[in-house]
């Protein structure tokens, strides 16, 4: 049972059904009652399709990211904005920060706008674990508008996820380091987000499958800031490691700085892999081997998908996208 | 003659005058005619104040920047968004690109939205020269909504500019290099924007005032991309220079890479100054001396100013903000 069936049964156009779903003042109360009766009889829940027909659309998409000054997110917002405008849509942008309360608040506020769909950029919106993921506010939001996650994954009706396969990427990167002789690989992260946890899983799987122990002392959490990372590594002189897998290029560059300060040779004494293939990765010396999680592809796929959803087409709710390891000079495999 | 006078003469509230100015459907045609007659008799032009009362406001500000994936602009948009939200305002973001036609198009499109004011981020919107500045489309836009330029300056009614004093900053930076013994300073830029031209003026003034010639061969325009800059400098082996003043950190990092490739010592053989004090400036080795043009301050002042304008308060249309030279390891003064 879809909107076409409802329209036919109610003897109105699909445009009218859409307007009823949107409670438009342009439809008479009588027609509304008739259409609603048909919907109830047929157990039809007003869905994305009906809403997405866009007859009362403002052609505006809400975008929320935690922090647009972050390089990865800035690029994502840029890609999204371009692609959306190709389709004739505008963006409203909110930056929510990383705290649960603020994220919930941002979603609540943006839903008060007349948006056709909501995009959440960054895996911070995907919660922490598969079970208690703190993402119920997103599922609630999805009752009002289709929600698209970029690089996060939550299950729920009217929620769509396009995400990079970070577990696989981390597994390959760390495996490469192990196979080139590294035994004590530091996992360096600034986050417990969904994607960071996926990277951690890949890291641990690589260790296990290669018969290496998973050690708590080799998991280090730090601010994603070059000098900060350099300094905390320098402060932990007793910590021994021969490789670093960082979940962001900024932290990997901090590790390069640390190696310089300690007089360690890269990659001979210390092998380093970053993440995101950002501009930072080619600024340091030697330049970083880094995982390219194909942000542009994720963004374009999300927008293309969204347009299909808004047109009532069927799309997959979960689309994994492969990452690429960009080999430069901080690794020897 | 202000909105209070009009309201008094027409025997209505200022809220009603504002609604008439905004052509609100909530005011009867009769009242509209009465208020408009009073406005005409008294030669009262509906101004920002009336519009800014915000009675029909969507509490939404339009932001246009050429490219939000640019680090400087991403940070600016982030600062603006935060500050605006403190005041309860939302942002609509457009990325216009750098071409004149596309910039004009972006302004035209965003004006169709119900925005309370428009912010243009980046000096590309300020045109090229003082006379024929290609900024008439902005003056036109300012007839409809107050326009705020960040790091650009154009004169016009209802146009407000907050900009960093790039000419002074470039003059000081280049003077420092000259006084520490540099004779052939390369000016490296990716743009002919208003602020880039101001930097060029400061560079030339420093040379002239120190009795050095201004040479065309020492002005080089390139893409703001690390490897691109390194490669074009490597390709010009006949070009002799002992210092580089770059109008963006990315190009300065490219120069650091060039020096490494040529085996030049920094700063002994080559002194380098970047611009923006971005994250890139601490990634390379040695770390960059760079001009901090205090983006956060520009953004916050712009928003604070805007709120005053929207409240009908008098503010200065031009606010210059001083830059700071952050000395790190690529200079020896």
Residue B212 CB contacts under 8 Å (≥ 6 apart), including other chains: B178, B183, B185
pLDDT band at A13 (very low <50, low <70, confident <90, very high): confident
Residues in chain B closer than 8 A to A113 (CB atoms): 90
A81 and B93 within 8 Å at the Cβ level: the answer is: yes
Whether B113 contacts chain A with CB within 8 A: yes
Measured between alpha carbons, how far apart are the two ends of chain B, in Å?
57
Find the closest chain A residue to B115 by CA distance. Answer: A92
Contact map slice: B 243-272 vs A, CB within 8 A = 250, 253, 257, 260
Average pLDDT on A231-241 reads: 95
Residue A26 has pLDDT above 80, yes or no: no
Find the closest chain A residue to B68 by CA distance. Answer: A78
A90 and B94 within 8 Å at the Cβ level: the answer is: yes
Q: Which of the residues A85, A279, A300 would you substitute to probe the B interface, choosing the one with the greatest number of B C-beta atoms within 10 Å? A: A279
B77 and A92 within 8 Å at the Cβ level: the answer is: no
Whether A15 contacts chain B with CB within 8 A: no
The minimal CB distance from B95 to the residues A82, A94, A250 is found for A82
B93 and A95 within 8 Å at the Cβ level: the answer is: no
Residues in chain A closer than 8 A to B285 (CB atoms): 257, 260, 284-285
Whether B285 contacts chain A with CB within 8 A: yes
Which helix (H) or strand (E) segment is A111 a member of?
A: helix A100-111
Q: Which of the residues B107, B109, B282 would you substitute to probe the A interface, choosing the one with the greatest number of A C-beta atoms within 10 Å? A: B282
Distance, CA of A48 to CA of A170 (rounded, Å): 35
Find the closest chain B residue to A287 by CA distance. Answer: B284
B209 CB neighbour count, 10 Å cutoff: 12
B284 and A283 within 8 Å at the Cβ level: the answer is: yes
A91 and B93 within 8 Å at the Cβ level: the answer is: yes
Residues of chain B with pLDDT below 70 are 1-2, 45-56, 127-132
pLDDT of the residue at B54: 47
pLDDT of the residue at A54: 47
Find the closest chain B residue to A254 by CA distance. Answer: B283
Residues in chain B closer than 8 A to A90 (CB atoms): 92, 94, 109, 113
B93 and A79 within 8 Å at the Cβ level: the answer is: no
Which helix (H) or strand (E) segment is A185 a member of?
A: strand A185-189
Residues in chain A closer than 8 A to B227 (CB atoms): 282
Residues in chain B closer than 8 A to A67 (CB atoms): 78
The minimal CB distance from B280 to the residues A93, A260, A280 is found for A280
Residues in chain B closer than 8 A to A227 (CB atoms): 282
Nearest residue to B252 via CA among B271, B268, B239: B271
A93 and B94 within 8 Å at the Cβ level: the answer is: no
Torsion angle, alpha carbons of B42, B45, B51, B55, to 10 = 20
Residue A48 has pLDDT above 50, yes or no: no
The minimal CB distance from B78 to the residues A68, A113, A227 is found for A68
Average pLDDT on A152-170 reads: 93
B90 and A79 within 8 Å at the Cβ level: the answer is: no
Residues in chain A closer than 8 A to B105 (CB atoms): none
Residue A92 CB contacts under 8 Å (≥ 6 apart), including other chains: A60, A61, A62, A63, A110, A113, A115, B60, B90, B91, B92, B93
pLDDT of the residue at A114: 77
More confident residue, B143 or A189: A189
B93 and A93 within 8 Å at the Cβ level: the answer is: yes
Task: Look up tokens 């919107």; give the residue.
Answer: B125
The minimal CB distance from B260 to the residues A85, A280, A285 is found for A285
A282 and B227 within 8 Å at the Cβ level: the answer is: yes
pLDDT of the residue at A59: 84
Distance, CA of B44 to CA of B168 (rounded, Å): 41
Q: Which of the residues A61, A65, A68, A98 would you substitute to probe the B interface, choosing the one with the greatest number of B C-beta atoms within 10 Å? A: A68
The minimal CB distance from A282 to the residues B74, B90, B226 is found for B226
pLDDT of the residue at A132: 59
Its ipTM equals: 0.76
pLDDT of the residue at B129: 58
B285 and A74 within 8 Å at the Cβ level: the answer is: no
Q: What backbone phi and psi angles, to 5 degrees, belong to A18?
A: -60, -45
A67 and B74 within 8 Å at the Cβ level: the answer is: no
Distance, CA of A64 to CA of A78 (rounded, Å): 13
Nearest residue to B331 via CA among B205, B236, B242, B216: B242
Residue A69 has pLDDT above 90, yes or no: no
pLDDT of the residue at B46: 63
Contact map slice: A 68-107 vs B, CB within 8 A = 68-69, 71, 74-75, 77-79, 81-82, 85, 90-95
Distance, CA of A292 to CA of A195 (rounded, Å): 14
pLDDT of the residue at A131: 58
Find the closest chain B residue to A79 by CA distance. Answer: B69
Residue B137 · residue B106 · CB < 8 Å:
no
Whether B284 contacts chain A with CB within 8 A: yes
Find the closest chain B residue to A60 by CA distance. Answer: B92
Collapse the DSSP code of A60 into the 3-class scheme (helix H, G, I; strand E, B; otherwise coil) and give the result.
Answer: strand
Angle A234-A245-A202 from CA coordinates, rounded to 5°: 145
User: What is the SS3 string spanning B190-233?
Assistant: CCCCHHHHHHHHHHHHHHHHCCCCCCHHHEEECCCCHHHHHHHH
């Amino acid at each position: 049972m879809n909107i076409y069936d409802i329209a036919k049964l109610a003897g109105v156009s699909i445009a009218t059904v859409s307007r009823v779903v949107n409670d438009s003042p342009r439809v008479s109360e009588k027609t509304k009652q008739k259409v609603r009766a048909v919907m109830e009889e047929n157990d039809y829940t007003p869905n994305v399709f009906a809403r997405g027909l866009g007859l009362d659309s403002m052609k505006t998409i809400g975008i929320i990211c935690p922090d647009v000054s972050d390089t990865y997110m800035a690029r994502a917002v840029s890609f999204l904005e371009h692609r959306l405008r190709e389709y004739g849509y505008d963006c409203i942008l909110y930056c929510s920060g990383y705290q649960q309360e603020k994220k919930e608040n941002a979603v609540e506020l943006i839903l008060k706008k007349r948006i056709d769909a909501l995009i959440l950029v960054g895996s911070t919106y995907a919660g922490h674990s598969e079970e208690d993921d703190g993402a119920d506010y997103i599922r609630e939001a999805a009752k009002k508008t289709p929600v698209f996650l970029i690089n996060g994954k939550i299950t729920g009706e009217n929620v769509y996820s396009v995400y990079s396969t970070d577990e696989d990427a981390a597994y390959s990167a760390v495996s490469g380091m192990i196979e080139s002789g590294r035994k004590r690989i530091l996992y360096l992260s600034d986050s417990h987000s969904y994607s960071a946890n996926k990277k951690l899983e890949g890291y641990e799987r690589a260790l296990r499958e290669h018969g290496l122990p998973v050690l708590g002392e080799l998991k280090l959490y730090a601010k994603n800031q070059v000098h900060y990372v350099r300094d905390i590594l320098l402060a932990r002189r007793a910590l021994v490691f021969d490789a670093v897998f960082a979940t962001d290029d900024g932290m990997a560059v901090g590790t390069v700085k640390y190696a310089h300060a300690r007089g360690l040779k890269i990659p001979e004494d210390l092998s380093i892999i970053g993440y995101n293939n950002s501009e930072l990765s080619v600024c340091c010396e030697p330049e970083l081997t880094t995982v390219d999680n194909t942000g542009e592809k994720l963004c374009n796929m999300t927008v293309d998908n969204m347009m299909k959803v808004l047109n009532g087409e069927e799309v997959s709710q979960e689309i994994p996208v492969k990452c690429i390891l960009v080999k430069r000079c901080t690794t020897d495999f």
